[in-house]
Amino acid sequence: MGRKKIALIGGGQIGGILALIGAQKELGDLVILDIPEVEGMVKGKALDIMELRPHDGYDANITGTSNYADIEGSDVVVITAGVPRKPGMTRDDLLSVNLKIITNVANNVKKYAPNAFVIVVSNPLDAIVYAFYKVSGFPKNRVIGMAGALDSARFRAFIAMETGLSAQDVTCMVLGGHGPTMVPLPRLATVGGVPIDKLLSKEEIDAVVKRTREAGTEIVKLLGNGSAYFSPAASIMEMVESYLKDKKRVIPSAALCEGEYGIDGYFIGVPCVIGSDGIERILEIDLTDDEKELLNNTLTAVKSTVEESKL
């Protein structure tokens, strides 16, 4: 059997934290890959985490590389490679730069890890995951975009902060694209099974929804350089763990819809069951007319970005 192997393409802030969480959860051996110009940096991060293991006794090997041959046979590939957002930049500004990067990544993953479950994180997410799918030719159940897991975690965090109750007991969902048109669904949000409209006023709920939509931008502004990395890494590892341990978690993720929610041929955030077959099912829920309209808005935004990518 041996340990599972997880390849992290991109060794920036998220890549480093992913390697740390993956080691702490002992999900498998981890390879952090980045471009030759920063090979020393990813080797340094890997070695630093290797030297942390004795404290809690984690057994996982972490290596850094710039050679794609080192990801050979990976069970999971997480792609965070790409240029991060700078203040004032939209996710779409990143499109042309990150399309070139993802095309190269897709060709190498296809060559060295053809059976991997691939989680795409690079922005603009909905177009980049589509590009990976097109270029790699991977089956749709093995290509997924991480967005909804993070957006939902932020929604949960803000509900917990607003109510003063445990984040652990908050359940909620965010559908749609990863950006300002995302669709948080307060109607379905609960704390310990209690609907949030019993705990918060309409104004408070509206404020939480707005903050969720703008959460990424809020952090970009505060940091002044770069974007969030702790929360995205935790969201990604939740997906990795559900796949490797066949947990069947229901995680909102960007999946290829072929008729679900009336959407055909686009990756968009929907509730996915993640197990050992990758995306095993997309769960469909009845939406109100208002929610449908919001999902159509997000679809329009996703379509325009995908069309710009000319794939």
CATH number of the domain enclosing 138: 3.40.50.720
Q: Are residues 110 and 24 part of one domain? A: yes
163-180 b/e (C-beta count within 10 Å ≥ 16 → b) = bebeeeebbbbbbbbbbe
Q: Are residues 177 and 139 part of one domain? A: no
Q: Is the pTM of this model over 0.85?
A: yes
Q: Are residues 82 and 103 part of one domain? A: yes
Say which CATH number the domain at 261 has.
3.90.110.10
Strand partners, 256: 267
Q: Which residues of the chain have pLDDT under 50?
A: none
Residue 172 near residue 162, CB atoms below 8 Å: no
Q: Are residues 202 and 226 part of one domain? A: yes
Q: Are residues 162 and 129 part of one domain? A: no
138-191: pLDDT as tens digits: 999 999 999 999 999 999 999 999 999 999 999 999 999 988 999 999 999 999
**Residue 12 belongs to what domain range?**
5-145
What's the pLDDT score for residue 91?
A: 64
- Write out the two tokens for 86: 């700078």
CA atoms within 13 A on the CB side of 47: 7
Q: Are residues 37 and 124 part of one domain? A: yes
Which of 145, 171, 193 is the last residue in one of the domains? 145
Instruction: For tokens 């992913």, name the residue.
Output: 18
Note if 55 is an active site residue.
Answer: no
Q: Are residues 134 and 248 part of one domain? A: no
Helix (H) / strand (E) containing 64: strand 62-65
Q: Are residues 272 and 126 part of one domain? A: no
Residue 25 backbone dihedrals phi, psi, to 5 degrees: -85, -5
Which of 127, 145, 163 is the last residue in one of the domains? 145
Q: Are residues 163 and 271 part of one domain? A: yes
| Catalytic pick among 178, 228, 305, 306 | 178
What's the pLDDT score for residue 188?
A: 97
DSSP code for 94: G
The total number of structural domains in the chain stands at: 2
Amino acid at site 132: F
Name the nearest CA neighbour of 66 among 99, 94, 104, 97: 104
Q: Are residues 188 and 152 part of one domain? A: yes
Helix (H) / strand (E) containing 266: strand 264-275
Q: Are residues 167 and 70 part of one domain? A: no
CA dist 257 and 263 (Å) reads 6
Which of 117, 145, 173 is the last residue in one of the domains? 145
User: Radius of gyration of the chain from Cα atoms?
Assistant: 19
Q: Are residues 121 and 56 part of one domain? A: yes
- Write out the two tokens for 153: 């975690």
